[in-house]
Amino acid sequence: MGEVNLEHVTKRYQDVTAVDDMNLEIEDGEFVTLVGPSGCGKSTTLETIAGLTKPTEGKITIAGREVTNLPPKDRGIAMVFQNIALFPHMDVYDNISFGLRLRDYDKDEIDRRVDKAADIVQLEGMLDRMPDEMSGGQRQRVAIARAIVREPEVFLMDEPLANLDAKLRVHMRTELQRLHKELDATIVYVTHDQAEAMTMSSRIAVINKGELQQFAPPLECYNAPANLFVAGFIGSPSMNLIEGTVDESGLDLTDYHIDFDPGQLDGVGPGDHVTLGVRPEDVYLVEDADKVAHPSGRIDAQTDVLEPMGDEIFVYLLTGEQEMAGGGMDAEAGDAHQLLMSVDPDKELEVDSDVEVVLDSENVHLFDTGTGEAITHDLRFAATETEPTGTEAEGDD
Ligand code: ADP
């Protein structure tokens, strides 16, 4: 069926390596999203699967068959692009059936496929409309129906929602999930929008500079990002990332100290440069510390900016020099560092006030600042043990 495998796929354009040694094993029926910033190599990766671009190195198989050197039409795929290229002088029926008519399918078979596709994308009753009589979302559904009638094993979609307005994009996300369920086909989808990737996919492939960073279910990328890039890219607003240095009793983050026993983390010792990562929802006001099973020590901070979102308030906190300056509108930001916290919408907070916050140690991540690789996603065990003197250590001195 529709498995897609990329083995060591590399694509170079002169001195640009658009895709760098990409390995992906996509299972039959999966909805996999390639996500990453603009220019990271998502489209090129998809184009190598489609056969629109030939990889410089590597091998691609679709449904167990090597397709590396096959033309697109022989790969069992259908593509949907960002630009919805419908023929303006043809009605919906003719647009959807165009490819089938070119291939001389018989009329009954074409009708059967068009009716079924129109039903799936909910365009029944609109088959005689012209493209200029349709909304952007409807036109995109025609483009998807045109892919469906090919009955491919794999759908390849490159930012198909990018040209739609924000509300329609959110609506089409649910439509695409329904479509995936009904078609029971493999979908490989490209987007730069991490929210789209998070909501629709069975797994997401996070790409940066042509290299695969993590290939995992969305929540795994969110809860256990493999490295600093994934930590910063997945999640909106982004995870707080704060650089520091490990010392004998934990982590020195310049403005405050997070206590834990570094001896409990493999390969980490005093002097190591690490980056602490904590999501805004894992930062709590001290008064709410009882909601957290394993809070860190307290951190002094000052509220800087409040953003009420309706269902939560984003609170931009400053730690360090700012709060030492005594607060107030005229306080110098100095060397202050920002820490973003999310609190319940009913919290009454004032700008420029002193607060104490704690971190939920179970959701504190540490990364090696040099390599960017994750060290741990849970500091709980270490943070709560204030005097971890081991009995075996006795007698050493
Ligand atoms: P994305 O889809 O993530 O935005 P692309 O796959 O389009 O990224 O591009 C990845 C990199 O390859 C970019 O640096 C881009 O400029 C480069 N690139 C893509 N296509 C070509 C091409 N035909 N010729 C030269 N460079 C290209």
| Domain-ending residue, one of 193, 225, 257 | 225
Same domain membership, residue 34 and residue 88: yes
Q: How far apart are CA 17 and CA 330, in angstroms?
A: 49
Give the three-state DSSP class for 55.
coil
Q: Residues 245, 218: one domain?
A: no
The whole-number pLDDT of residue 317 equals: 96
Which atom number of ligand 1 is nearest to the Cα of residue 34?
A: 3
Does the Cβ of 38 fall within 6 Å of ligand 1?
yes
The fraction of the chain above a pLDDT of 70, given in percent, is 92
Q: Are residues 194 and 87 in the same domain?
A: yes
What is the token pair recorded at 94? Answer: 């003719």
Q: Is the pLDDT of residue 369 over 80?
A: yes
Query: Taking each helix axis from N to C terminus, what angle separates 92-102 and 136-148, rounded to the nearest 10 degrees?
Result: 20
Task: List Cα–Cα distances, 180 to 47, 118, 200, in angstroms.
Answer: 21, 15, 9
Residue to mutate (ligand 1; options 9, 11, 13, 38; most atoms within 8 A of CB): 13
Do 212 and 306 lie in a common domain? no
Predicted confidence (pLDDT) at residue 77 exceeds the cutoff of 70 = yes
Question: Does residue 235 belong to any structural domain of this protein?
Answer: no
pLDDT at 322: 53
Does residue 202 lie in a domain region?
Answer: yes
| Each residue's pLDDT tens digit, 97-129 | 999 999 889 999 999 999 999 988 888 899 999
Q: 10 Å Cβ neighbour count for 89?
A: 10
Is there a single domain that holds both residue 289 and residue 209?
Answer: no
With beta carbons less than 8 A apart as the criterion, state whether 50 and 44 touch. Answer: no
CATH of the domain at 322: 2.40.50.140
Same domain membership, residue 155 and residue 94? yes
For residue 162 and ligand 1, the question of a CB distance below 6 A is answered with no
- The answer, yes or no, to whether any atom of ligand 1 lies below 6 A from the CB of 40, is yes
Residue 232 covered by a domain = no
- Give the mean pLDDT of the chain: 90
Give the count of beta carbons closer than 10 Å to the beta carbon of residue 249: 15
Q: In this structure, are 252 and 176 located in the same domain?
A: no
The verdict on 119 and 162 lying in the same domain is yes
pLDDT above 90 (res 286): yes
Distance CA 12, CA 340 (A): 39
Parallel/antiparallel/unpaired status of strands 57-62 and 299-308: unpaired
Q: Which residue minimizes the CA distance to atom 23 of ligand 1?
A: 13
**Predicted confidence (pLDDT) per residue in 9-41, tens digit:** 999 999 999 999 999 999 999 999 999 999 999
Q: How buried is 116 (Cβ within 10 angstroms: 0-12 exposed, 13-18 middle, 19+ buried)?
A: middle
Cα(191) to centroid of ligand 1, in Å? Answer: 14
pLDDT of residue 167: 83
Domain match, 318 and 184 both:
no
Task: Give nearest CA residue, ligand 1 atom 5.
Answer: 41
Final residue before a domain boundary, out of 225, 257, 284: 225
User: If 0-12 CB within 10 Å is exposed, 13-18 middle and 19+ buried, where does residue 10 land?
Assistant: middle
Which of 14, 34, 43 should be mutated for ligand 1, with most atoms under 8 A from CB?
43
Q: How far is the CA of 215 from the centre of ligand 1 (A)?
A: 21
pTM of the entire predicted model = 0.89
Q: Which residue has the tokens 């026993």?
A: 261
Q: Distance between CA 357 and CA 280 in Å, rounded?
A: 11
CATH number at 91 reads 3.40.50.300
Looking at the fold, whether 186 and 269 belong to one and the same domain comes out as no
What domain range includes position 270?
A: 240-394
The closest of 185, 161, 183 to 30, measured between CA atoms, is: 185
pLDDT in tens, 244-267: 999 999 999 988 999 988 888 888
Task: Read off the tokens for 242.
Answer: 């704060």
Q: What ligand 1 atom has the least distance to the C-alpha of 47?
A: 6
Total count of domains within the chain? 2
Does any domain span residue 219? yes
Residues whose CB falls within 8 Å of the CB of residue 58, separated by 6 or more in sequence, listed in order:
6, 7, 8, 9, 10, 21, 22, 48, 68
Q: For residue 197, report the distance from its CA to the centre of ligand 1, in Å.
A: 20
H helix and E strand count, the chain: 10, 21
> Per the domain annotation, does 205 fall within a domain?
yes
| Mutate-to-test residue for ligand 1 from 6, 11, 44, highest number of ligand atoms within 8 A of CB | 44
From 174, 194, 225, the end of a domain falls on 225
Contact in structure between 339 and 242 (CB atoms under 8 Å): yes
Is 167 a member of any domain?
A: yes
Residue 340 lies in a domain: yes
In a domain, 230, yes or no: no
- Identify whether residues 189 and 285 lie together within a single domain: no
| Ligand 1 and 87: CB distance under 6 A | no
Is 339 found in the same domain as 248?
yes
When mean pLDDT is compared across 122-136, 226-240, 329-343, the lowest value belongs to 329-343
Spell 25-47 as b/e; 16+ CB within 10 A means b: ebeebbbbbbbbeeebbbbbbbb
What does the pLDDT read at residue 321? Answer: 66
Return the structure tokens found at 108: 């009954």
